[in-house]
Chain A
């Protein structure tokens, strides 16, 4: 049994076998693989989508679910340490899925816990199940993970999903196009990571038609107002990073639009009816990926 804290801990072979397992769960999601087991979902920070996805995954595997969805209803509001909460819950559950607002919380929990920990997001740090569902969605829509043109759009400075995606794609020779306003450009450390790992990338400040027409994947992220020091700049850029149906007339046939959701306006609603829109299926894929991750961490055949 083992924990899943960050995508960086996963080798290429491991990623591919988890994706294959997720595909088997998609073909047959309802199983009794974990009949009689207990999965704890500890959400010290609320995240309804992620929690529902994990809890559905556990339920479809036949496990029972315990936990809390908000730190206000847990003993951490009484000042209990994370370690003590983890030690208590590990007396009851076979595996703990946790989300926490503090960075490194999952790593620490995995070091003190006698049962496996799955990181469902630790502050701005890591969210490996999101990355796995992104990979699954890319592989499923493109038929491969190798040699793809991937356009990352929006907040590339604070967006942890794009940073983890770059890390996970290092095994597959991607070509990345980073599209962000100057204030939210890809940080130097991640560009250094790309160069160190031979990942090809270029940078843009506008999502041009040419970029759209030459991409296999467009990964949109939210441009949040609170990230800007200059609100004039926010007003200027917020409309530049909106994707509309009229821009999708001459794309590659295999182009798919991804988004970690929730969106706030960066994808116009008319895109929803385009064949390239894939973000809702992407979220659904999270269920199968999380079934695969839970079984893997428990060393259960799937």
Chain B
């Protein structure tokens, strides 16, 4: 797609989160806490995509996400790509890397787990990144995401 056909305005500096499955756009807004972002945020969804049919895209001006922030997307949207834009050019493409530990991101599916019954954050160890296998730090139950 050429620049004149762009569906949303180009960004001077910031981050473009691309290849988001359309249904997950607002989940990602949530995970990255973009509701409270001060700079301009452009959100598009149901855009045509050759790769995934219909995609969502989020552009955040003057904002660059840390690896820790990006890792929060690893369970919900592992295949999104973050384009780092400086002076209208993509200077880096970042993919989501699943971290060794997930704090407060996944809810433990075990209703008898202490993490579902106390005012506390969930905590999972990632025991197999390829198989996306997690183990609850508390009840020790395993979970596939």
Contact = CB atoms under 8 A, between A and B. Distances in A.
A108 B140 contact: no
B110 interface: yes
A103 B139 contact: yes
Interface residues of A, number: 18
Interface string A76-114: 000001110000000000000000111111011000000
Kindly state the interface size class of chain B when it binds its partner.
10 to 19
A101 B116 CA distance: 13
B49 to A, nearest CB: 39
Contact of A103 (B112, B119, B142): B112
A189 B143 CA distance: 12
A124 interface: yes
B39 interface: no
Contacts of B118: 81-83, 108
Contacts, number: 49
B7 to A, nearest CB: 47
A84 to B, nearest CB: 10
B113 A104 contact: yes
Q: Which 7 A-B pairs have the closest CB atoms?
A: A104-B138, A103-B139, A104-B114, A104-B139, A105-B114, A102-B114, A108-B114
17 contacts: A81-B119, A83-B119, A83-B120, A103-B140, A103-B141, A104-B114, A104-B115, A107-B114, A107-B137, A107-B138, A108-B115, A108-B118, A108-B120, A108-B138, A122-B114, A125-B139, A126-B140
